[in-house]
Structure 1
């Protein structure tokens, strides 16, 4: 039975999220794993619910799916800021806490400290005087650190220094291919 992976990422917010998730599932399948994306296909049913109920239904479904998965493949490009999507980071932390393998990638080629400096230059920092140590890493040290700790391999990022589009899947493909050595540990 192939391992089940949660191909996580903020690309669930794309207009074509279902088709995009299908492409991520196909990447997983090419490498011998079953992809289990966090889609909530019952859009009409969710839209008919009060918001206070709908978000709880979504959360419960996603938690059940994560419990059923053996590992996470987290797509962690910058999302509306200098760092990765908060929801994907919660999922990554959940897998880390559950002792399940975690693998991660980013389409971003700019180191975290440089992205943070660019953001502060564009939008005034509401907490001036705080420093951000980048350590040459692709995101806050806890993110690539969690990926390394839980998967045994570092975050996959563009090695050529060229940013990939938010919806690009090249780094996901490389992450799945490279992470295979950490599966089943």
Structure 2
């Protein structure tokens, strides 16, 4: 059986009162799609930042919940995880329960600016364009984002299995060659000594 695609499940879900149950729900979504969900719920006393980074490093891709959290924007920890995953060359798949354009969630007061006078982004995206660059879809559910990740990266899991099989075949070939060489040497010694 080929190894499962590993998906790091980023988002503010770890802050929910039912975080453990939500993590299990998200992991089950991954399992139904044929992947392993890595939900970053850690015990007290653990270096959470380091543990999350290690989990991202172990993952094949990141699936992030960018639903607004404590305001009009996504969770800042999730933004960090997205940036870290991208810096490590990991594919990123996004979902949000609120896919309205950012300008609808934070409407300008006058001249495209908010109440503090800052320009409000109007790129038609549900989050800052650094999080949602052109060409990146924001799915409406974790099921859709996970399905897209598995569809897009199914080759990664197959390639990992092929590499594993190739390594095993090389080890077997080396062992057989070594055994044959030792046998041939012993046979040659026996014939010379006869």
Indicate the TM-score class for this superposition, using the shorter chain for normalisation.
0.7 to 0.9
> May I ask how many residue pairs the two structures share in their alignment?
150
Q: Which runs of 5 or more residues in structure 2 are unaligned? A: 157-194
Partner of 2:23: 21
Q: Match of 2:148?
A: 178
Once residues 179 and 137 of structure 1 are traced to their aligned partners in structure 2, the CA distance between those partners, rounded to angstroms, is 20
Cα deviations by residue, 1:110-135 (Å, 9 ceiling, x for unpaired): 21011112899xxx84xx22212221
Matched, 1:132 2:120: yes
TM-score, normalised with respect to structure 2: 0.71
Give the aligned partner of residue 38 of structure 2: 36
Question: SS of the residue aligned with 2:137?
Answer: coil
Which deviates more, 26-35 or 108-117? 108-117
Indicate the RMSD between aligned Cα atoms, in angstroms.
Answer: 2.2
Q: Distance in 2 between matches of 1:181 and 1:118?
A: 38
Alignment of 1:154 with 2:137, yes or no, is yes
Whole-Å separation in 2 of the counterparts to 1:134 and 1:26: 36
1:39-78 equivalence runs, <5 A: 39-40=41-42, 42-43=43-44, 46=45, 57-78=47-68
Contact 1:81 1:119 in 2 (8 A): no
SS of the equivalent of 1:83 reads coil
Whole-angstrom distance in 1 between the partners of 2:99 and 2:5: 30
Gaps of 5+ in 1: 47-53, 158-170
**Does the residue aligned with 1:73 lie in a helix, a strand or coil?**
strand
Q: 1:59 to 1:100 in 2, by over 3 A?
A: same
Larger radius of gyration: 2
Change (3 A) 1:179 1:64: closer
Map 1:77-156; keep pairs closer than 5 Å: 77-117=67-107, 125=115, 128-145=116-133, 148=135, 153-156=136-139
Runs of 4+ residues over 6 Å off in structure 1: none
Deviation, 1:109, is 3.4
| Post-superposition CA distance 1:38-93 (Å, at most 9, x none) | 011x34xx3xxxxxxx6xx1111111111111110001100111111000110011
Taking a change above 3 Å as real, the CA distance of residues 109 and 64 of structure 1, as seen in their structure-2 partners, is closer
